[in-house]
Amino acid sequence: MCLLRVLSVTRPIIQKDIIILRYENFSKLKDENYIRVLSSDKKGEEISKSYFYFIVNKLRQMGLLLDNAISFKVVVPYSVISKGISLKKGILYITNKKEMIFIDFCDQTYSCEKCTIFASCIPSLKQIAYELGMKITSDNPNVVWYKVIESIQQTLLESSVSLRLKLNEIPFSEKVCCQEEVEENELRANI
């Protein structure tokens, strides 16, 4: 089961980073308007100007747009679990041919047995595998997609040195301290 969207990218691309995006935000890209605004800087007839710029601002907040350009090569979704994060089965990938491929295996829209998008699934899969230097060893696209996503996630984790968060975007950023600091400051205040 999955949801696959393939679009041509006409928006400029200024960075080729990997972004780890919270799944709640990643799932917003299922919306046709969000993915269309992300892939193209032209408004089009289907949405109003104000809604277009509302979406642009949301995409900037997610870190997917910088100024008016795309700021990533790959987006990997994650969710928060009790003692950490869990990478979800899905990616948003921009190919060297300027195609944006969105696939989310947490969605139930399509299934391989009754797939109506097979014609775009296989070429997208082959393009990503080719760009990553992977050999396709199965006839089942579902199995190959999982291997491609796992490969991207594994490479991401193995090559990451750090994960930087902006403190001003964390709700409790003004309250960040540890118990030792509190006790030390209380002792200084009493002297």
Instruction: Domain count for the chain, please give it.
Output: 1
Average pLDDT value over all residues in the chain: 84
Residue type at position 100? M
Q: How confident is the model at residue 50 (pLDDT cuts 50, 70, 90)?
A: very high
Global confidence as pTM: 0.80
Instruction: Indicate the SS3 state at residue 68.
Output: coil
Structural domain for 101, as ranges: 3-190
d(CA 9, CA 94): 8
Q: Which candidate, 28, 35, 27, places its Cα nearest to that of 7? A: 35
d(CA 81, CA 65): 27
Q: Which candidate, 103, 42, 114, 49, places its Cα nearest to that of 77? A: 103
d(CA 90, CA 104): 4
pLDDT at residue 188 is higher than 80? no
Task: Report pLDDT digits (tens) over 146-155.
Answer: 888 898 888 8
Q: What is the pLDDT of residue 1?
A: 65
Q: What is the pLDDT of residue 14?
A: 93
143-149: long-range contacts at Cβ-Cβ below 8 A with a sequence spacing of 24 or more?
A: 145/2, 145/103, 145/105, 146/89, 146/105, 148/91, 149/89, 149/90, 149/91, 149/103, 149/105
Instruction: Indicate the SS3 state at residue 121.
Output: helix
Task: Report pLDDT digits (tens) over 79-121.
Answer: 989 888 899 999 999 999 999 999 988 877 766 667 666 677 7
Give the tokens for residue 63.
Answer: 């870190």
Strand partners, 80: 85
pLDDT at residue 140 is higher than 90? no
Q: What is the pLDDT of residue 159?
A: 85
Average pLDDT over residues 175-188: 61
Average pLDDT over residues 50-69: 93
